[in-house]
Amino acid sequence: MASMMRAVQEFWVLGLLGQMIVCGFLFFRGHYRKLPFFTAYIVLNICQAAFLYALYAHFGFGSHGARMLAWWSEAGTLILRSLATAEVLRVVLSPYRGIWGLGWRVLCVAFGLVLSFAAIEAGSNLDWAFVLADRGFHLAFAVALVACLLLVRHYSIPIPSAYKALLAGFCFHSCVVVLANTVGKTLFPRESAHYQPIWQAVTTGTYALVQVVWAVALRKPLPAEEKQQARLPASIYQQISPEINQRLRSLNDRLSKFWEPEVSRH
Amino acid sequence: MSLALILFFGIGAVLLLGLAWALWEPRERKKLGSDLGSLDECGQRHVDYLPQIRQALAPMDFDFLLKNASRDLQRRVRRERLRVALAYLAAVRGDFQSLLRTAKVIAAMSPEVAAVQELERLRLTAKFTWHYQMIRWKLLAGLAPVPQLDGLSNLVSGLSVRMEVAMKELGEHAAAAAKLASSVNGRGMDAV
């Protein structure tokens, strides 16, 4: 247990160091102008780390009150995390107005749906409410992000590697938190105190790794914003799209009747 | 192992695979820009070769062979007909995918995209893929009435003609946008 606690502390320091490096790149490279919410997210995380350090130093690591305050402090960072992700996606999709319009709707619907289920589950199990709410948020976040990225791939829209790293980092960390919370709730239903250091080691370790990836991605200047792609009048899409769908529907009808005897044609 | 553990591990694995697939970019993958360059190819379609394919699959030829040729030759001809039918079906799918790619480019360049239309196209594409695979397997099993491939290609060629008109409009708009951009740049340089 003691070695686990030491590992948690080491990962925590590494993560904090990583965040400070990322923050440095954001300010000295001028990325904060392009990514204000992402910058705010990193700054808030550093502030949260200082707050948690003071909290645990004062109340002790095993204090119930300190743990509750720590969970509540997480709410602000989670909100900024969502805004930062939406911001990165907006930067990537800004030259494609129509797809961004579709993308943010996919993001909102997927996030809202999964989060609603998670809220119901967390509400029905008050002992584990914080863990379930945290898992639900990260699950909704990862589902929405992957759905939006699949949409981007569907339309063959290129994502610059720096933004890829930011989005992959967010998603990977969320998936790990979902799995860590599930293992904790399932395998240690009554002895959460035993699992807590393991949970912290896994999540802080992953977060430290993500900071390394982000620092590498942000050490170079971000790609210049693409100009708006040559845009078509909305009327062309409105005219062509339903017609394509009509043709595809007819084609599918023909295919489904492929094995029926054909009526004689004149 | 509880059900929840298996379920969430499954979801986590699917999400990580989805993330990797969404961000992975194969070398040969065409970007939107190169898709635009290839739009001119839309006019040339495999359905243009339909008369030749129909000639190759004509039942009269096969009836003649049944009466006059050896069993070996009949078998070889049957194999060749199947090969031609499969190659043709694959080519029609290629045309279908090329048209879908064009539809995606139009969507990407439009200022507004209707979610209902896009979702409907996804559903129809999934349905087409399913039907295509079924027909392919039945052809391979020797159950397919080969000449009916005709109906399939008529629809694709109809769509292709309509898309060519759209591509022409797209080209005109792109040229106008490029002209406008260059004139704006020119003015900017003059001012400096």
Q: Do residue B107 and residue A254 have CB atoms under 8 angstroms apart?
A: no
Q: Does B82 touch chain A (CB under 8 A)?
A: no
Is A36's pLDDT higher than 60?
yes
| Mutation site, A237, A243, A262, interface B, largest B CB count within 10 A | A237
Q: Do residue B25 and residue A158 have CB atoms under 8 angstroms apart?
A: yes
Give pLDDT, residue A266.
Answer: 40
Tokens standing for residue B165: 């008109």
**What is the spatial distance between Cα B81 and Cα B83, in angstroms, rounded to a whole number?**
5
Q: Which residues of A touch B151 (CB under 8 A)?
A: 254, 262
Q: Does A96 touch chain B (CB under 8 A)?
A: yes
**What is the spatial distance between Cα A206 and Cα A212, in angstroms, rounded to a whole number?**
10
Is B189's pLDDT higher than 60?
no
**What is the spatial distance between Cα A90 and Cα A104, in angstroms, rounded to a whole number?**
8
Shortest distance between the Cα of A51 and any Cα of chain B, in A, equals 31
Q: Which residues of B touch A98 (CB under 8 A)?
A: 107-113
Q: Does B145 touch chain A (CB under 8 A)?
A: yes
Contact by Cβ (8 Å): A237, B107:
yes
Q: Could you report the per-residue pLDDT of A63-121, keeping only the tens digit for each? A: 778 878 888 888 888 999 999 999 999 999 988 888 898 899 999 999 898 888 888 87
Contact by Cβ (8 Å): B121, B45:
no
Percent pLDDT > 70 in chain B is 53
Q: Does B94 touch chain A (CB under 8 A)?
A: no
Q: Return the number of other C-beta atoms located less than 10 Å from residue A108's C-beta.
A: 13
ipTM of the complex: 0.80
Is A3's pLDDT higher than 80?
no
Give pLDDT, residue B146.
Answer: 54
Nearest to A230 among B11, B25, B109 (CB): B109
Is A181's pLDDT higher than 60?
yes
Give pLDDT, residue B112.
Answer: 83
**What is the spatial distance between Cα B25 and Cα A158, in angstroms, rounded to a whole number?**
9
**What is the spatial distance between Cα B95 and Cα B49, in angstroms, rounded to a whole number?**
12
Which residue's structure tokens are 């052809």? B139
Region class of A156: left (phi > 0), else alpha (psi between -120 and 50), else beta: left
Nearest to B156 among A182, A245, A251 (CB): A251
Kindly report the average pLDDT of chain B as a whole number. 69
| Mutation site, A108, A146, A181, A254, interface B, largest B CB count within 10 A | A146
Task: State the average pLDDT over residues B117-126.
Answer: 87
Is B188's pLDDT higher than 50?
no
Q: Could you report the per-residue pLDDT of A201-245, keeping only the tens digit for each? A: 888 999 999 999 999 999 988 887 766 655 777 777 888 888 777
**What is the spatial distance between Cα A243 and Cα A241, in angstroms, rounded to a whole number?**
5
Q: Do residue A175 and residue B177 have CB atoms under 8 angstroms apart?
A: no
Tokens standing for residue B59: 């039942």
Between chain A and chain B, the number of residue pairs with CB atoms below 8 A apart is 190
Supply the Cα-derived Rg of chain B in whole angstroms. 24
Tokens standing for residue A250: 């007819």
Give pLDDT, residue A170.
Answer: 94
**What is the spatial distance between Cα B30 and Cα B32, in angstroms, rounded to a whole number?**
7
Range picked from A153-157, B15-19, B89-93 for highest mean pLDDT = B15-19
Q: Do residue B25 and residue A167 have CB atoms under 8 angstroms apart?
A: no
DSSP A178: H
pLDDT band at B49 (very low <50, low <70, confident <90, very high): low
**What is the spatial distance between Cα B174 and Cα A258, in angstroms, rounded to a whole number?**
40
Question: Which amino acid appears at position B123 of this protein?
Answer: R
Q: Do residue B107 and residue A139 have CB atoms under 8 angstroms apart?
A: no
